[in-house]
Structure 1
Amino acid sequence: MKIALLVKRFTLSGGKERYVVELARALQRRGHSIHVFACQYDNSLSKQITFHKVVSRFDSFSVLNTLSFIKETAKLLSKQKYDIIHSHERNYTQKILTLHSLSYCEGLEKYSFIRRIDQKYFSLRSLLYLWLEKRQMRSPWLISVSQEVSRDVKKYYDRSENIVTIPPGVDTDQFNSANIKKLRDQARKEKKVQKDELAVLFVGSAFQRKGLGRLLPEIKENMRLFVVGKGDKLVKYKRLIKAYGIEKKVILTGMVNDVKQYYALADVVVLPSRSEAFGMSALEGMACGLPVIVTQNCGVADLIENNKNGLVMKKNSDLAKYLHLLRSKEERLRLGTLAEKTAKAYSWERVGLTHEAFYKQILSCKLSA
């Protein structure tokens, strides 16, 4: 098949972006001709994928940038014929659209009543986003990255037909307990993690949404917290760290090129998100044989049976309880072993195969129509 994938950034710097890169690689390995339409592109990712440059005239996070991306990709796509055109951005002109995040409507629910009214009825930016989202939800086929996203679509747009769930995958060749064990002693030595310390790992850039503020007060004696990612409101979190008196216990790494060394030194991965479409760091942690703690608001929680292959928070107080439980090496081993078994079923090859079957189903529907 000749497949066009639409994404603003074809890089490994974010969850959505990595999903598209790995999907493109998996489909290309299966012999398909892959064309990527993007504003930014990392040429080192694959030389066998054809890249089409999309001109961007606006700030990458503005609604005008999104509308411009829709218009420019439509022009480029009209020059050739493709069997499948699959958008991973907010788009109302394509028949296949993957939802990598919860809806804008869901985001507005986090605001106060007054702010919510202002955003829904008086903010031009919000009104444009809501208009765009309403149109994209009418796309003939939707793919969600989790049941959490599917539930969100049902709740706010009353849609459940022609929507399938294809969760992200994990590179099990890189992220597995055997590889991590080889790196563990050196990684802990380099970061000066003591033998009796519980190394807690938080990976993600949206600190507020991902719940870093929930985690900080739970960092107690004989614990170290490694925060990997370029977070929002950094000054605020540095103040909190100082207020809790845990400056020597918390390491803010910023963005890193190789996150494996942090999984290697970690005893537990924590993702206490307020809302999370999926949560790839938790799946990577599971693949490494680490116990994970997530909230029930995380899409990845659908893969976890509480206290069997991970721990799911139903209330904030669960976090302290679970961290205390994981001071036990036996508990970490029990949960981590089953977590790794679960993660092995979610390889990127499986993601590619599932998409391929989905595309074939759509093409067969076209032929029979």
Structure 2
Amino acid sequence: MADELSERHEVTVFANRCERPADARWDFQPVRAWRGNALATVRTFPIGLRSLATKLAAFDIRHSQGYCGGQPNVVTAHICLAAYLDSLRDISLQSRTSLRLMAAAEARFYSRYEGRVIAVSQKTADELQNFYEVRGPISVIPHGVDATRFSNENRGRDRASARRQVGVNDGDTLALYVGDLTKSHSYLKELSAAAPDVQFAIVTASPAYHWKGANVRLIPPTSEIERYYAAADAFVFPTTYDAFGMVVLEAMASGLPVFSSDRAGAAELIESGKDGLVFPLDEWVEATAAALRNPESLRSVGCEAEQTARRHDWSTVVAAVEQVYFQVAGCVSENDTENANANRHERATTRGHSAGSLTDSLRPGASSEQESTASSHRPMTTVAFIVNGNYETAMGYRARDLAARLGQFDVLIAYRSTRKIVSILSFFIFLVRARPKVTYVFDISYSGVLAAALYRIVFGNRLVVETGDAIVELARSTGSRGRLRLWLTSVLENTAFRIADRVVV
């Protein structure tokens, strides 16, 4: 993602460790953390980020991969630890205790978090809502696959040598499993016994749950896993829990029929019976053993699987994530985002000029010709919504609900950032770009009112201001503001009422 995003924007990766190619366009910022075990890393990485708070504050988008500190405004949920813990039965007390502590930390994070969430599967999105009561909008954006590295074309180059390495004959059916045995070992053991004529290659780093069988070969992890995909005739994945399961998409891209349980997020990408097979866990062994006896069907499903995987390359994922960034930065409307998601190969082509200028420098639209074509279909009246709050606030929801009801207008929405001066400038630039006939300001606050008033003075459009309170009287009655702040609030309220063409209460 960093490679492709850095072609258009300035990107810095904050991590404890990172493999950065010499020709990379993105920067790397080391973060201190103790990597004694997973729990230690989770606990100490946010501490390391605190020392970099000033650097992080300069970015419009702070995208966290899971909960790891740094005050993110976009988080990708790669797992729901509470759901994973709930799925486990046969694990050690030490592992269960460690997972409980991490799940508790994850729950606390989501209880306080107010930004955007990206889930790698609908399964994960549902789990976040059920276990952590996440109620804000969740964008489901599945992982992508490197279709160049994982391809059916590897068979011609690697299949024969890889099968010799595994120790199977050309005429044997070879089923492959890649991953942690904690979540699948019992079903794999049953399958290897139920299908004695099938050879099994198990690539795993798991030190436990090993078993011996005449048709089973345990293989240590390798950096050339694509060779084993090329050697195999099918991919088996009886997981008890996987938020996604990258290996499923890798196997599909390699032209393999995937036999997955219904507990994997990646199974959502499979149309069972066409480009893969998905079975409930209690039926998985019997159904998979029967299907592995039909080589012709395996080849047909594998061909369909490869075509499906090609639609999920990383460029598609990056484009979808980029639209979330635009939305968070307030420089794209809800309708624009929906259109972009329908055609995710469109790109934002303007490169950011500085780390703190995302709102100013990023804009959807692949070319001026496309923008001209799109604008020819727009309604005559463009309305700009200025929301004095972020995407998750009640005003944000109200603005989007109202926009959805105004189908006869072209409604563009911008949201306030956490910094007032930046928000005034961002709002004004947004208005200059949008050139609305009407500006509608949700709630009276400095950034929205001043930006809208300045634009009205310069360009002479219509201005509507909505307020839920007589803010001066409210502040006076509650005693929540000192004399100076009360006077400034009065000036702001009077300015808004005088310059507005309409006031909505």
Q: Same fold (TM over 0.5)?
A: yes
On the 8 A contact 2:117/2:139 being kept in 1, the answer is: yes
Alignment identity in percent? Answer: 26
Partner of 2:107: 133
CA distance in 1, matches of 2:271, 2:307: 13
Partner of 1:212: 185
Partner of 2:299: 333
Partner of 1:78: 54
CA distance in 2, matches of 1:128, 1:315: 27
Question: Normalising by structure 2, what TM-score?
Answer: 0.60
CA distance in 1, matches of 2:124, 2:86: 15
SS at match of 1:199: strand
1:67-98: CA deviations, max 9, x gaps? 32112213214136112111113235322111
Partner of 2:216: 250
Q: CA deviation at 1:108?
A: 3.7
The amino acid of 1:197's aligned partner reads D
Q: CA deviation at 1:106?
A: 4.4
The alignment's C-alpha RMSD in Å is 2.4
CA distance in 1, matches of 2:275, 2:20: 38
CA distance in 2, matches of 1:276, 1:187: 28
Q: CA deviation at 1:111?
A: 4.9
Partner of 1:170: 145
Partner of 2:24: 47
SS at match of 2:235: strand
CA gap of 1:111–1:203, structure 2 versus 1, over 3 A, is closer
Decide which of 349, 354, 357 is 2:320's aligned counterpart. Answer: 354
Decide which of 203, 226, 238 is 1:260's aligned counterpart. Answer: 226
CA distance in 2, matches of 1:216, 1:39: 38
SS at match of 1:301: helix
SS at match of 1:208: helix
Partner of 1:26: 4
Partner of 1:3: none
Q: Which has the larger radius of gyration?
A: 2
Check if 1:195 corresponds to 2:170: yes
Partner of 2:132: 157
1:278-325: CA deviations, max 9, x gaps? 011111111111100111110011111111111111133332332332
Partner of 1:315: 281
Check if 1:226 corresponds to 2:187: no
Q: CA deviation at 1:168?
A: 0.6
1:247-293: CA deviations, max 9, x gaps? x4222211101001100110111110001000111111111111001
The amino acid of 1:101's aligned partner reads I
Check if 1:69 corresponds to 2:45: yes
On the 8 A contact 1:25/1:46 being kept in 2, the answer is: no
On the 8 A contact 1:229/1:256 being kept in 2, the answer is: no
The amino acid of 1:176's aligned partner reads S
1:200-223: CA deviations, max 9, x gaps? 11111x2112x0221122223332
**Structure 1 unpaired stretches of 5+:** 1-22
**Structure 2 unpaired stretches of 5+:** 332-389, 391-413, 417-505
On the 8 A contact 1:180/1:260 being kept in 2, the answer is: no
Partner of 1:20: none
Partner of 1:14: none
CA distance in 1, matches of 2:324, 2:47: 26
Decide which of 85, 99, 102 is 2:77's aligned counterpart. Answer: 99
On the 8 A contact 1:168/1:280 being kept in 2, the answer is: yes
Q: CA deviation at 1:109?
A: 5.5
CA distance in 2, matches of 1:46, 1:299: 34
1:302-353: CA deviations, max 9, x gaps? 1111111111111333323323322322101121111111111100111111
